[in-house]
A and B are shown apart, each in its own frame.
Chain A
């Protein structure tokens, strides 16, 4: 048991800190730190700046741009990035389809997609959830029927985050209706400019349009765009969703958001109740961060640490709790969330209500917190 980072890891952390604060434009980092929305161009610019430094996809295989770091180093990379206000590389590219293609894709697919995926030359969207297949993903109904060398896709996906920016979409489709439901699922890569693909935005409670429905009407997809084997989609989906031990909880960003409140709402820090709420949240975040460190420090032997399932559950709860505190600190000023830009209310206060509402999603996506409890009670506690 030892708390200090090794000399190597300290130098690594310093190097990350230096790179993130010098290579990613200040305007982009300020936008993130102040909780404002990034444009598509800003997200692309940031990821390309990281990629130029070899820091966009460090967890990929080395031959495709990965870095062969330890889990602890990846953790430090992830934390320092959030601390500096650098947007995390687009998850659909860096954490989802990239590792999937590297693991399951054909050589042709790797050559065609991986470099562009790392550099965000291709913006990937995720086509998993459907109106009747949320937590019960295996009951999805979008079909792909073989026609010559092609697949013909029909159906509807939903909750496709940032699908309005998407160039390509990786989808789970049903290629066989005769077998057990998990066994009939395959993964198809679909060009979103193909005829028959339609993206319809969904307005959310915060007034934003970050998720979409994606409709497929007789979309013809060349056969070489199926990843792995027909019927192998469920295995790939499990790999994709269970791929992460590092960065499961947005600890750094939530810590940063809480610390920022001490500056933006400085005039309320005489209130002992406010101080107590901040102190309690800081402590909760410390416990979460230490748990994340225990998980990454332990996983060098390849076995996942059971506590990793705690991170998603608790991480989202704390992320939401900080947004609640922000909203309470903003008070009446938060009503001006949709006022014109020349509103006399402060920007941070005006953003609190939409942020609070938006972050309710955090305990729903990526395996809802009820699914996480199910995983803990079944897999860890054996109940």
Chain B
């Protein structure tokens, strides 16, 4: 049992951190980037591709690097630290994960190869308007006629969907079950918008859109969809951990520098104790994120599903606590769009509501509470 990074993982962290620092050295750059099309920095995306980051999760046969979950988690944490709007989680982890899990060899080689090279951006369309984290599609329906598949319906929110080149869409199959389809972005109509953290999403309408089944046509992909959602939830928790680390650091720095009543704010125990409680939440979240990430390597999808719920609940609780306290302890400056702390709080919420919030995970854990005596950590 080991909770530390090896030298290569440490080097990966340094490399990603270094690259991101060149682009997002300050929050102002991020503000400008999200305000312009496509809502992230294409040059940075290209450099991530050059570094092999966009192909990390995929096998070498599929054009990727074949790295493990710990490495992917490291990238997510670093993106979270600077609130990077690049759609790594949506495009590589989520949409790419669906392709890797379900696609035929030639589909994987094509889509994942181009994704890894930074030539296409994918987005997963798996949520219907008003929908809530279901692995069964109900907003988009698939039809087949003479062997040709088409899709109809609406998916929203599609994170990263505004500028994606290819959509990976979950749709209800004619004979029941849920299939996953590849759709060219040219074949849909979409309306982009900014989420609360100013990252971009879209409402996507399919109207007889030509679709290619991912993998075997007409087969229910529900279990694979659920597993990829669980993996994405765990990687989203890594990203949230990076956000929270930055928020705790920013808050302690602020308490040491901001003066009121002639003294720095760390003279007030009411404030330093609250910072201590933020640190407690951060460390608990850190432990749970490392653990959940390590469970993936075992390859048991039930274990991963349980870990996703557990880390999802932890991140929801810690994220609310740290996100709210970071703003409160900063005071008015924490409310402003020009300061990273409050935007980080928005980003934490977007991650949770997108990937699975506290009540969602708690409900699932509560359903299983009589399935075991003790929760085994190792």
Contact = CB atoms under 8 A, between A and B. Distances in A.
Interface stretch (B1-9, B106-114, B123-131): B1-9
Interface string B215-239: 0000000000000000000000000
B362 A280 contact: yes
Nearest to A289: B377
B367 A287 contact: no
A243 interface: no
A364 interface: no
A352 to B, nearest CB: 20
B377 A290 contact: yes
B204 to A, nearest CB: 35
A244 interface: no
Interface stretch (A134-142, A168-176, A292-300): A292-300
A255 interface: yes
A1 B290 contact: yes
B1 A293 contact: yes
B366 A381 contact: no
B77 to A, nearest CB: 13
Contacts of A282: 365, 369, 375
Given A1-B3, A1-B9, A3-B295, A310 B374 contact: no
A376 B294 contact: no
A275 B367 contact: yes
B256 interface: yes
B310 A286 contact: yes
User: Which of A255, A269, A276, A383 lies at the interface centre, i.e. has the most chain B CB atoms within 10 A of its CB?
Assistant: A383
A146 interface: no
Contact of A2 (B1, B275, B285, B374): B1
Contacts of A358: none
Contact of B284 (A256, A272, A278, A288): A288
A26 interface: no
Interface stretch (A4-12, A92-100, A110-118): A4-12
Interface in A259-304: 259, 262, 269, 272, 275-276, 278-280, 282-291, 293-294, 297-298
Contact of B252 (A306, A373, A382): A382
A377 interface: yes
Task: Give the interface residue-count category, chain A.
Answer: 35 or more
B313 interface: yes
B378 interface: yes
A373 B255 contact: no
User: Which of A9, A283, A287, A372 lies at the interface centre, i.e. has the most chain B CB atoms within 10 A of its CB?
Assistant: A287
Contacts of B70: 1
A206 B233 CA distance: 45
Contact of B370 (A262, A297, A313, A376): A262
Contacts of A288: 284
B374 A259 contact: yes
A272 B313 contact: no
B121 to A, nearest CB: 29
Contact of A298 (B3, B9, B273, B276): B3
A165 interface: no
B191 interface: no
A370 B273 contact: yes
B294 A2 contact: yes
Given A286-B377, A313-B280, A297 B314 contact: no
B373 interface: yes
B272 interface: yes
Contacts of A378: 272
A75 to B, nearest CB: 10
A287 B273 contact: no
Contacts of A6: 1
A262 to B, nearest CB: 7
B290 A294 contact: yes
A283 B310 contact: yes
A360 interface: no
A67 to B, nearest CB: 19
Contacts of A297: 1-4
Contact of A259 (B272, B314, B373): B373
B277 interface: yes
A279 B365 contact: yes
Given A290-B291, A381-B252, A373 B276 contact: yes
Nearest to A285: B375
A314 interface: yes
Nearest to A266: B370
A287 B284 contact: yes
A314 B280 contact: yes
B287 interface: yes
B252 A276 contact: no
Contacts of A280: 313, 362, 365
Contact of B288 (A5, A286, A307): A286
Contacts of A372: 276
Nearest to B291: A290
A32 B345 CA distance: 44
Contact of A293 (B3, B9, B366): B3
A35 B377 CA distance: 24
User: Which of A291, A372, A380 lies at the interface centre, i.e. has the most chain B CB atoms within 10 A of its CB?
Assistant: A291
Contacts of B295: 3
B280 A275 contact: no
Given A293-B3, A314-B280, A373-B273, A1 B294 contact: yes
Contacts of A269: 369-370
A383 B2 contact: no
Contacts of B310: 283, 286
A314 to B, nearest CB: 6
A307 to B, nearest CB: 4
Contacts of B293: 1
A72 interface: yes
A9 B1 contact: yes
Contacts of B363: 276
B3 A279 contact: no
User: Which of B9, B293, B373, B378 lies at the interface centre, i.e. has the most chain A CB atoms within 10 A of its CB?
Assistant: B378
Contact of B365 (A72, A259, A283, A306): A283
Given A3-B298, A314-B280, A383-B272, A275 B287 contact: no
15 contacts: A1-B6, A2-B294, A255-B375, A275-B366, A285-B375, A286-B377, A287-B284, A290-B288, A290-B290, A290-B291, A294-B3, A294-B290, A370-B273, A373-B272, A373-B276
Which 3 residue pairs are nearest across A and B when measured between Cβ atoms? A290-B287, A377-B272, A376-B276
